[in-house]
Structure 1
Amino acid sequence: MDGQLDRRAELSEFLRSRRARLKPEDVGLPSYGRHRRVPGLRREELAQLAGMSVAYYTRLEQGNGRNVSTEVLDSIARALRLSDAEHAHLMHLVKPVRRKRKQTARPQQVRVGLLQLLDSIETVPAYVSGRRSDILAWNRMAAALFGDWGELPPQERNWARLVFLNPEYRERYVDWDQKASDIVSFLRMDAGRYPDDPQMSTLVGELSMKSEEFRRLWATHDVKEKGHGTKRMRHPLVGELTLAYETFHLPDDPDQALITYHAEPGSPSAEALRLLGSWAADARHPEAPSSTLRQD
């Protein structure tokens, strides 16, 4: 790719994809059944719902987002029934965060205090994620659960590369398809925020060339913010675990988040985590990770 994503094309394709998923009956409009030539809503139907002219909406869907007001974007978001994440993504595509190239290329750093916090968390896997789904720092329990990322080159410590290009992670996740979809949705949000980030463009280009599954998911234009939920893991030593994860966005750096995993007290997964913790604490155990904390 040429160093940055095409913001006009991203805006156009996102609006088309959201319009295509709506049926007239979803928004209270009459349906003409088999006589409809296009899936989803027509442009004129969407414009009517958003309270604007067809010509004006058409210009926006063609990627011309200059001078569009927040009120207009809010109307379109309501008409398209966008989620909060999709609404934010639309705003980013039209009014992206402008950062100098040096800022987006600068290595991401984790505060010393946060590194110390990670190192003090002894029973819960925890790590810090940054832009482009980069893995910036982690504790010993995260290394025990996910594998020691310190053994990987820095550029490979990235969730998207691990999930789509590392066969081991396809085995680690029982619901790999959902994990893959989530990662692509997170990347889409980042790409909308920083369309001029050359490293994002390089990452998307690499994954698009090497993974057909990534290309398919990227083309859906789905977006999502990191949040909370459960993941089913398959660990080579302790078997399957069901773990709840929580995401804590940092107030002084919105690009970074602390993610933790925990098991329901008294559950088999809690016992499995306890075993992993005991192995991680014993540096003499052959399967124990080699360090408590890494950041490069």
Structure 2
Amino acid sequence: MSETTNPLGAYLRARRELVTPEQAGIPEVGVRRVPGLRREEVAMLAGISADYYLRLERGRNRHPSMQVLESIARVLHLDEDHFAHLLTLVAEVSRQRRRRPRKETPPPGVLKLVDSLIQPAFIEDRYFDILASNSLARALSPGLAVGGNQLRDLFLNPAEQALHPEWESVTECFVANLRQAVGNDVGDPRFIELTGELSLASPRFRQLWARHEVRGQRGTPIRMNHPQLGELTLNRERLGIGGTDALMLVVYHPDAGSSDADKLALLASADLPTSNAQRAGRARSQF
């Protein structure tokens, strides 16, 4: 079964392969032909039968008890984010959830907010598509223009890669967050299209995707190497719009009084603002 038809099995297998026998307290004897732990070793350490665990990985049993899940999570060293993701994979998926998701549209009030902010700001959906951005965000990175996709740029655009001196850790974070955002909705056509494109075009993405890491993006400093400003560090904050995680408002802001604040002010003074409302008006005038 593929990840699309058996996401639970794919997840368990990937996480099992990342746990070494030493981490699990199993002495290594002879040559091991598989990475990480064997199925029967996971079953033994979790206190369940090898046949039961095999049925879980093969998608023949999709309703394990919470006690079983907690035992497996302990053996596989799953942290809080990874365990939460495991629970989404065993939950019942309604037929509505499998339908093509409707295209999310940012509320007009939030679009005005983005334009009014004096810091780089933009709105992204769960696939990291850019749905709106202010002029300073686009000056910081052309990849933040409406219609762009941050994942595609990070893995396939050399200019965007050069913007991130810590590119490897940034890509790890984005891929792990995509896993969390999509959850068990692996049949989503947009999700399949994006991950398929990146898997074919980027060895780095394939490597990270196969690990099944799950991590929420939280407020964190991010380093950039801007072609005009040089190196600067900005704080990256993500705020849910409308009480859900379907749309996120992302704001980059410097520490007050820092050289990074001076550099950002310099970028803002050289930038000619065009609001989201103005761009929407121009688009309407073309019809």
Mapping for residues 169-208 of structure 1, pairs under 5 Å: 169-208=160-199
Match of 2:123 among 125, 128, 132: 128
- Give the CA deviation at 1:125: 1.4
Distance change in 2, residues 1:136/1:102 (3 Å): farther
User: 1 CA distance for matches of 2:104 and 2:196?
Assistant: 21
Match of 2:268 among 253, 277, 280: 277
Distance change in 2, residues 1:255/1:218 (3 Å): same
Matched, 1:146 2:141: yes
User: 1 CA distance for matches of 2:257 and 2:44?
Assistant: 55
Note the alpha carbon deviations across 1:102-128, whole angstroms, 9 max, x for none.
Answer: 964421111223222222211x21222
User: 2 CA distance for matches of 1:83 and 1:26?
Assistant: 15
Matched, 1:115 2:106: no
Matched, 1:44 2:40: yes
Q: Is the 8 A contact 1:7 1:93 kept in 2?
A: no
- Give the CA deviation at 1:223: 2.0
Partner of 2:243: 252
Partner of 1:23: 20
Q: Which runs of 5+ in 1 are unaligned?
A: 284-288
Distance change in 2, residues 1:148/1:93 (3 Å): closer
The answer to which structure, 1 or 2, has the higher relative contact order (CA under 8 A, 6+ apart) is: 1
Note the alpha carbon deviations across 1:166-188, whole angstroms, 9 max, x for none.
Answer: 22201111112222222222222
3-state SS, counterpart of residue 244 of structure 1: strand
Q: Is the 8 A contact 2:132 2:276 kept in 1?
A: no
Partner of 2:81: 85
In the alignment, residue 140 of structure 2 is paired with which amino acid? L
Partner of 2:63: 67
User: 2 CA distance for matches of 1:99 and 1:275?
Assistant: 51
User: 2 CA distance for matches of 1:210 and 1:61?
Assistant: 28
- Give the CA deviation at 1:247: 2.0
Q: Is the 8 A contact 1:126 1:260 kept in 2?
A: yes
Matched, 1:242 2:251: no
Distance change in 2, residues 1:149/1:19 (3 Å): closer
User: 2 CA distance for matches of 1:221 and 1:83?
Assistant: 13
Mapping for residues 147-166 of structure 1, pairs under 5 Å: 147=142, 149-150=144-145, 154=147, 157-166=148-157
* TM-score, normalization by structure 1: 0.83
- Give the CA deviation at 1:161: 1.3
Q: Is the 8 A contact 1:118 1:138 kept in 2?
A: yes
Q: Which runs of 5+ in 2 are unaligned?
A: none
Kindly report the root-mean-square deviation, in angstroms, between the aligned alpha carbons of the 2 structures: 2.6
Partner of 2:10: 13
User: 2 CA distance for matches of 1:57 and 1:102?
Assistant: 27
Distance change in 2, residues 1:90/1:136 (3 Å): same
Percent identity over the alignment? Answer: 40
In the alignment, residue 135 of structure 2 is paired with which amino acid? R
Mapping for residues 99-110 of structure 1, pairs under 5 Å: 100=96, 104-110=100-106
Distance change in 2, residues 1:66/1:239 (3 Å): same
3-state SS, counterpart of residue 263 of structure 2: helix
User: 2 CA distance for matches of 1:114 and 1:42?
Assistant: 50
Distance change in 2, residues 1:169/1:12 (3 Å): same
Aligned length: 279
In the alignment, residue 89 of structure 2 is paired with which amino acid? L
Matched, 1:263 2:259: no
* TM-score, normalization by structure 2: 0.85
Q: Is the 8 A contact 1:133 1:186 kept in 2?
A: no
